[in-house]
Amino acid sequence: MKKYNFSAGPATLPATVIQEASMGVLDLDGIGLSVLEISHRSAEFSQIIERAEALVRKLLRVPEEYAVLFLTGGASTQFFMVPMNLLAETETASYILTGSWAKKAYKEAQLFGNVEVAASSEDQNFSYIPRQLDVSSDSVYLHYTSNNTIYGTQFHQLPDTDKPLVADMSSDIFSRPVDIQRHWVIYAGAQKNMGPAGTTLVIIRKDVVERAERTLPTMLNYKTHIEKRSLFNTPPVFPIYVSMLTLAWVDEMGGVERMAQINKEKAAVLYREIDDNPLFYGVVRPEDRSVMNVCFRLHDEKLNDAFIAMCNERGIVGIKGHRSVGGFRASIYNAMPNEGVQLLVETMRDFTQRYG
């Protein structure tokens, strides 16, 4: 039975990417070695990481004044690397709190300077994106989380500010166009929409990397990785390889502009069923609903286990909501095919016929 992975991450990957990656594990491009054992200093890996960078630049139209890095440690490491490198102790940074990950980024930043809350949606359990911002005139940057995997909200427009932006785009990177030049830094863990777990994409303006003027550990200094082109130490070779294959797939599909159109269509089908089905309801303000992570619940939560059981029977996996909020969450990233969304909709309808 074919299965569809609706998990928030590690998430579904294109079938063709998995096939090509599996061939690379056995023998990379006929060189007689697995991609798992090639040197990160080899010509073969140089081609991989250079192509990965070129695809990032092409897909997101990244200007030359920005560096493209492939690091480790996930977005959680970027929570403190950003203020460590960009925020001096006497300076102020602003943060929009729209979920658990945004709060964690805010907490880490407090270790390195003055950090203020520009806006928060915690008053309504993070069910909306706040529009009114209170940003100090001396704030040096505004941090936001573009898409919230746990609560299912998403910024559909950039925050309304003249301050430089810093964005955690872990769960919607490459799903739509991005105005790179409004940002100092964009970072994203790979495991939701770019590739397997293990590497973290960082796009950063080169002229801001030393503005905090503090002494930093070598590995936590962006300048180190910019100068060494992400090769200061052994990088996560396999995750970068699979990310490169995934980015090539996005390019072949028509780029992020085409992906944005496809993703909106998939999300519309699922949200329409949630709104029309008498047993289910959405938990996010309609105008702020995520196109990547669709969160919903049953009016009668005693039926939760029965719905999950029916989903499992039909090859729908990873549909259970985050443990902190419950309910259900369908993550429909770039690689989720239309058939997976349609199967979930049909299952919801069949469930309603049985229990409605």
What crossing angle do the helices spanning 237-253 and 255-276 adopt, rounded to 10°? 80
Report whether 38 contacts 45 (CB < 8 A). Answer: yes
Q: Largest Cα–Cα distance in the chain?
A: 64
Catalytic residue among 168, 249, 266, 288: 168
Instruction: List CB contacts of 309: < 8 A, sequence separation 6 or more.
Output: none
Structure tokens at 97: 């709190």
C-alpha span between 301 and 280 (Å, rounded):
10
Catalytic residue among 163, 172, 184, 192: 192
Instruction: Evaluate the CA torsion angle 124, 160, 107, 138 in order and state its sign.
Output: negative
Report whether 211 contacts 86 (CB < 8 A). Answer: yes
C-alpha span between 205 and 185 (Å, rounded):
7
- Note if 264 is an active site residue: no
- Note if 249 is an active site residue: no
- Note if 168 is an active site residue: yes
Instruction: List CB contacts of 129: < 8 A, sequence separation 6 or more.
Output: 98, 121, 153, 154, 155, 156, 285, 288
Q: Which are the catalytic amino acids?
A: 101, 168, 192
